[in-house]
Amino acid sequence: MSKEATKKEPMSVVKKMMIALAGGLVVGIGFLLIRQQLTSSGNEAAWNVINKILFQDITVEDGVGAVGIFYIVGQIFMRGLQLAIVPLVLVSLSLAMCSISNSTKLGRIAGRTLAGFFSFYVCGAFLGCVVAYAVKTLGFFNVTLPSEAVTEASTIDAFNPLAVIVNAVPSNITEAFSTNNSILAVVVVAIIIGLCMNKLGDKAAPLKKVLESANEVIQMYLTFLINKVGPVAIFCLISRTFAIYGVEYLAPAAAYVVSAMLTLFLLVVILYPTGIYLATKMNPFKFLKKIAKVGVFGFSTNSSAACLPLNTRTCIDELGCSEEVTSFVLPTGMTINMNGTTVMHMFAVTFIATSAGIDVTPANLIVMAFLSICAAAGTPAIPIAGTTMIFTVLSGMGWTTEACLIGYALVVAINRPVEMALLPLNVIGDAATNVIVNAKEKELNKEIYNS
């Protein structure tokens, strides 16, 4: 037998990620059970030692003197991904705009992209409303709220979703590039640069070469980070998430968490494959099989921006999408396509209102869906943006009583699993729209897609 035959093929990054996810769940739940056992038996000091060595956030006051191994590994990986977000969006989108020589084609791609995102928004919101209303009608959202939780409610300043139009055009280009919280502004700058390069033609060739070289460097860096560091980091992120959130946070509102997560999962495997089949007549199961790793990655990292590099590579290398169209659709989707957030809002606001004694009607749900789509597409740059934007929808409905704020505080406390579950809906939605736009533009390589 030859050496080549006996040589094992290296494990794919998909298998590594799945193993890391499963391992992280097992280890995280194991530590959760250990924590419950130690704290219930009065051995909190022992858990504190374990927490300080493995899970403690070392950047806060309580983290002084802690090691936080899992926290450090997860944060290094996440920061490494965030490091590439602004240059990746700027370079890839500029080159995409530069390469599209036909302005009519550019307008057509943009129109089809926005139409795809909006269609998925409406379908997701509708199905989210139906299931949330059914769960509420069955009485599963009738919970007893802890009165002390009102002090923990975190709110945001009044926000008009239309402000996103003004904020999309930065007044200072360096300020827009200095933070990952202004990605929409980076998208606008990249489009402007790309269109100007397109118009200038050969005069802009030196700048184009610089951007192409920068793109190669970024891709090399991200390939190493995702393939080599990604699986270990995913294991640490998942383990830490389950270990530090006690069961007492999930118990009072298990109906909300379970129903929202199940609906989000079902939408991933039903909504997008159906959309692809109806729009392109392509085999939707091929899409699901190849895009699954992006969903796992989104679930693990809880960041649409962090998924952009892997989503881009999967769309181009495995789904047969053109680099030109992909470079426009995916960065745009990362900034405005928050379909999963809207579905989560339907459940969260229905749960909060019901727990506060408000009878949510189908008419209320329609208004909630409209407010949520506007809020999700124009999510401001704040931590746990989707969860915090729940308050914007509550404010729009006029549901800001003390009881509603208590319910909102409870959702903030327990929403981490739901936030993780909604990310796959967002990033897979970007990829589904990308496939549809490529098919409509006759740029989808069907041989690669069906391989």
| Sign of the four-CA dihedral 284, 289, 290, 292 | positive
Global pTM?
0.69
How do residues 266-291 score in pLDDT, each as one tens digit? 998 899 999 999 998 889 999 999 99
Average of pLDDT values for 284-309?
A: 85
How do residues 385-403 score in pLDDT, each as one tens digit? 677 678 778 877 878 777 7
More confident position, 118 or 238 = 118
The C-alpha atoms of residue 200 and residue 194 are separated, in whole angstroms, by: 10
Angle among Cα 429, 384, 92 to the nearest 5 degrees reads 45
The C-alpha atoms of residue 38 and residue 35 are separated, in whole angstroms, by: 5
Distance of CA 374 to the CA centre of its chain: 17
Average of pLDDT values for 99-125?
A: 83
Name, in order, each residue with C-beta under 8 angstroms of 318's C-beta and a sequence gap of 6 or more: 290, 448, 451
Name, in order, each residue with C-beta under 8 angstroms of 61's C-beta and a sequence gap of 6 or more: none
Whether pLDDT at 381 is above 50: no
Identify the band that residue 111 occupies on the pLDDT scale cut at 50, 70 and 90.
confident
Average of pLDDT values for 225-252?
A: 73
Please check whether residue 448 is in contact with residue 318, taking contact to mean a CB–CB distance below 8 angstroms: yes
Out of 3.40.30.10, 1.10.3860.10, 3.30.70.890, 3.40.50.300, select the CATH number for domain 71-450: 1.10.3860.10
Average of pLDDT values for 296-323?
A: 85
